[in-house]
Amino acid sequence: MSDDALWRLTAAEAIRRLEAGEVTPLDLVEAAAARIAETDDALNAMPTLCLEQARDRARQMMEQGPPDPKPRGWLAGLPVAIKDLEDTAGVRTTYGSPIFADHVPERSALMVERLEARGAIVIGKANTPEFGAGASTFNEVFGRTHNPWNRAKSVAGSSGGSAAALAAGQVWLASGSDLGGSLRNPASFTGIVGLRPAPGRVPKGPPTRLYTNLSVLGPMARNALDTAILLDALSGAHVEDPMTLDAPAQAFADAVREAAPPRRIAFSADLGVTPVEPEVAAICRAAAERFADLGCIVEEASPDLSGAHEIFQTLRAVGFAADSGALLRSHREQMKPDVIWNIEKGLALTAAEIARAEQERAKLFQRMLGFFESYDLLLCPATIVPPYPVEWRTVEEAAGQSFETYIDWLAIAYAVTLTTCPALSAPAGLTAEGLPVGLQIVGPPRGEAAILAATALLERQTGLADLLPIDPRPAG
């Protein structure tokens, strides 16, 4: 393979070649830089690059050689993209906000430090909406990110820059975060894999609030094995984040390589919480039925997620008030209306309202545990609509039903968030327009290995992972 085609490699193959000495970290930095230069004018996925820093890091790794022994999740000098919500030392990090348009942090986030310690080379920052608020990737600092499958379409959000960069072959791996679907929605819209892991699986921070578990950090890649490799690199306890978990005994990548079909799977087209466009529901149902071809029992069933809307709206608003309340007082004129609404909603909540939301969430969690006593996995759409026009700020209606707020259309994702169960979006099929649709695969608490293994089995059935990466396609 020529140097100018290295971007087509899977992450697993690129790491194999790095370890075998067939390519160098600098080769891959240059390949990524060339691919970004070739494609990003069409996408606006990677607005901030740190190429000289990446080249210096690559040369340093080439001089030092690999550590002995290599840590689990060793990436061997593979370039990665970091979502612009996570601090990266010496690299402009804006959080998509004009308030921080010129912000250059002195220290990286724990997640970035871990990736670099395990052989990743940060090549740049991926675009995100302001403070990650909203499932449409645009902001006043860098503008909109376009979908490589059709430049007239959105990549959703908030990890939209990461998703577009992966689908177009700009990078082999990318980071994301997820509160109400921000890893899963962009994955669905771009035909990649975006995994929301269990709370504590990936270190966050240094944290400004302890023991919060609605928002998590997670991996994005073009297939199940690459996603598992990145999750292995991210995982493990960290002394600065008291929520973190020890890495499991079996590597996630090994669970994918040894994937076996689950016994019993539930499928629901709507989880009982949202309307879903009929074409999306049909594509996801057909993908779920692929598991029956593997000998799995696939049944129509859903957990009881009643109360999810009120619980999520309340607890999400609490988080915005805690994280950004001070900014609202000092920089209100620089914030978009959606962020202001979120903060003010949180500040107006009473202690009784917050207490009720916490209590109802605990009941919902117990009902989900009971559901997984009967089923190994839960399948449903990752999003309720196919990719929409890039100009849209949000989805205002689906299947003939209107939504009250800009986040209501995300219920099929945020209802799962409340359960703490890991979930991912895996490519399910293409619409009549040729646009990707994602299947949400949900596992029991801390069951990331099971959902990654199921994704690998689905990939073998559909072949959809082989469609990527792609050259950005024109609008229309």
DSSP 255-303: HHHT----SEEEE-SSTTTS---HHHHHHHHHHHHGGGGGT-EEEE---
**Angular region, 150: left φ>0, alpha ψ -120 to 50, beta rest:** beta
Reply yes or no on whether 182 is catalytic: yes
The Cα 227–Cα 225 span in angstroms is 5
The Cα 214–Cα 347 span in angstroms is 18
Which of 154, 182, 188, 268 is catalytic? The answer is 182
**What are 92's two structure tokens?**
């402009």
The Cα 325–Cα 339 span in angstroms is 10
∠ CA 42-47-51 to the nearest 5 degrees? 110
Reply yes or no on whether 330 is catalytic: no
The Cα 127–Cα 44 span in angstroms is 7
Question: Do 129 and 137 contact (CB within 8 A), yes or no?
Answer: yes
Which of 154, 158, 159, 188 is catalytic? The answer is 158
Question: Do 73 and 234 contact (CB within 8 A), yes or no?
Answer: yes
CA dihedral 192, 198, 202, 206 (to 10 degrees): 120
Question: Which stretches of 156-251 are DSSP H helices?
Answer: 160-167, 184-190, 224-234
**What are 367's two structure tokens?**
């009902």
Reply yes or no on whether 204 is catalytic: no
Q: Active-site positions? A: 83, 158, 182
